[in-house]
Amino acid sequence: MAHVVILGGGFGGLAAAHELRTHHADIEVTLLDRKDHFYMGFAKLWDLGHVRPLADGTRSLANLANRGVRFLQTEITALDPSARIVETSEGTLEADAILVALGAAKSQRHLGFLNSQGAHDLYDGVQLPAIHADLDALTEGRILISILGGPFQCPPAPYEAALLVDERLRERGVRDKVELAVSTPQPMALPVAGADASRYLAGYLGERGIDLLSEKKVTGVDGATRTVGFDDGSTCDYSLLLGVPACAALTLLAEAGLTGESGFIEPDRHSLRTDYERVYAVGDSTHIPTATGALPKAGVFAAGEAVVAAGNIAADLVGSAEARFDGHGFCFLELPGRRVAFVEGNFYAEPKPQVELTDADEDQFLRKQAYETERLDAWLG
């Protein structure tokens, strides 16, 4: 029986495993990950905003066995894409096809910035208890949420975090004594979704008294004085700094010769094939160009690409129909009061991505919850 090895049990890896299992019982699937669990990125923000504890959105990767997928918790140490051989801490695996869905690393420089007094990595679930403790202790000063560089995961998430933190401070009755700001090196809040979506989001930030510091690239953090320095020479004091590190290429993939000039894997944007036969790549491990930049590093794209890559792996191995990724993607933009706006579009459109925004309401918050539940149940139920 043909054997597919999926590297990574995140958004992309799980979506691909589910697709292969649902439509191709004649293909053996093994999924490798160093972690033993999965949760969606936005589950961290729900924890941050006291919407729901992270544990409630977490599922065990051991549940893959219920779906007929072999799961191996292991560290992937090397990859030979020509021979389709994977080296792991548990031994060597050979595959008829490989899907790389290993996500991205984080900029070491930015992690260094966040190793400062009063600073945390907003995107690291492990740091949530420390962030909660600092937020609860804060009665005055300034919270700075800082996008440290690009590309970074889920472009709206830092702003969603700011709005959730704003709500928390209001609930505690200290909002009028705590300033809240988001800094970004970009010229507007959401360039990837366009000027209208950026204005829409900026409107909510303004309404809530959250300062948007655009075109501010962080050059350093001084933990002793709790000061962030920007490339235009200006500085910003903080009581609490919640930083978003840029994504970086995984050394393992560069060493395997899989990465291109962008530093990430650059597969064909419609088939997700790499230059190596029966080796595919999806999600945050990739750089996929669009007319104005690149696809955002987001779970919905990783999952959409993974379904297509799984289809094409099956086409290679058992001769089923080929699949094609059309650049369609969406985002549930979380706004105050358990309301969600929906941003959706064709990111492959020319001369620029065509993105539409549906105004926020409570129904779309329920839709976001259902999106998560349906996938967790299907992938890991």
Ligand X SMILES: Cc1cc2nc3c(=O)[nH]c(=O)nc-3n(C[C@H](O)[C@H](O)[C@H](O)COP(=O)(O)OP(=O)(O)OC[C@H]3O[C@@H](n4cnc5c(N)ncnc54)[C@H](O)[C@@H]3O)c2cc1C
Q: Can you name the residues that pair with 29 across neighbouring β-strands?
A: 4
**144 near ligand X, judged by CB under 6 A:** no
Residue found by looking up tokens 């792991």 in the block:
88
Closer residue to ligand X, CB minimum distance, 294 or 331:
331
44 versus 226: smaller Cβ distance to ligand X: 44
Site for ligand X in 345-374 (CB under 6 A): none
Query: Does the protein bind ligand X through residue 106 (CB under 6 A)?
Result: no
Stretch of residues binding ligand X (CB under 6 A), selected from 222-230, 232-240, 293-301, 336-344: 293-301
Residues 113 and 220: beta-carbon distance below 8 Å: yes
Nearer to ligand X, 49 or 230 (CB): 49
Q: Which of the stretches 10-18, 189-197, 218-226, 337-345 binds ligand X when contact is defined by CB under 6 A?
A: 10-18
Q: Which is nearer to ligand X, 90 or 171 (CB)?
A: 90
Site for ligand X in 309-338 (CB under 6 A): 331-332
Q: Give the separation between CA 237 and CA 252, rounded to whole angstroms.
A: 37
Phi and psi at 295, nearest 5°, equal -60, 140
Q: Which CB, 202 or 302, lies closer to ligand X? A: 302
Q: Which of 300, 323, 355, 380 binds ligand X (CB under 6 A)?
A: 300
- Do 101 and 6 contact (CB within 8 A), yes or no? yes
In whole angstroms, the minimum distance from the beta carbon of 252 to ligand X comes to: 6
Smallest Cα–Cα separation from 225: which of 116, 109, 111, 114? 116
Q: Does residue 297 interact with ligand X by CB under 6 A?
A: yes
Q: What is the DSSP string of 230-249?
A: ETTS-EEE-SEEEEEPPEE-
Identify the residue among 5, 19, 24, 33 touching ligand X (CB under 6 A): 33
Q: What angle do CA 171, 163, 355 make, to 5 degrees?
A: 150
Tell me the angle at which helices 41-48 and 128-137 cross, rounded to the nearest 10 degrees. Answer: 30
Binding mask 180-219 for ligand X (x = CB under 6 A): ----------------------------------------
By CB under 6 A, the count of residues binding ligand X is 34
CA–CA distance, 45 with 51 (Å, rounded to integer): 8
Cβ distance 122 to 131 under 8 Å? yes
Least Å from the CB of residue 83 to ligand X = 18
158 contacts 122 by C-beta, under 8 angstroms: yes
Q: Is 284 in the site for ligand X (CB under 6 A)?
A: yes
Nearer to ligand X, 143 or 226 (CB): 143
> Scanning residues 43 to 102, which ones bind ligand X (CB under 6 A)?
44-45, 75-76, 101-102
- Residue 151, preceding bond cis, omega within 30 degrees? yes
Chain residues 151-180 in contact with ligand X, contact rule CB under 6 A: 153-154, 157
Q: Pick from 11, 264, 280, 365: which binds ligand X (CB under 6 A)?
A: 11
Partners of 132 in the beta sheet?
none
Query: Can residue 18 be called a binding residue for ligand X (CB under 6 A)?
Result: no
Helices (H), 187-341: 195-207, 251-255, 299-318
CB of 266 to ligand X, least distance (A): 15
Q: Which stretch binds ligand X (CB under 6 A): 29-37, 209-217, 258-266, 338-346?
A: 29-37
- Considering beta carbons, is residue 230 or 357 the nearer one to ligand X? 357
Mark 284-323 as b/e (b = at least 16 C-beta within 10 Å).
bbbbbebeeebbbbbbbbbbbbbbbbbbbbbebbeebeeb
Amino acid sitting at position 225 = T
- Give the one residue of 113, 123, 238, 379 binding ligand X; rule: CB under 6 A: 123
Q: Which stretch binds ligand X (CB under 6 A): 171-179, 221-229, 253-261, 291-299?
A: 291-299
Q: Could you give the CA distance from residue 216 to residue 244 in angstroms, rounded to a whole number? A: 13
95 contacts: CB under 8 Å, gap ≥ 6: 3, 4, 5, 30, 84, 85, 86
Residues that bind ligand X (CB under 6 A): 8-13, 32-35, 41-42, 44-45, 75-76, 101-103, 123, 153-154, 157, 252, 283-285, 297-300, 302, 331-332
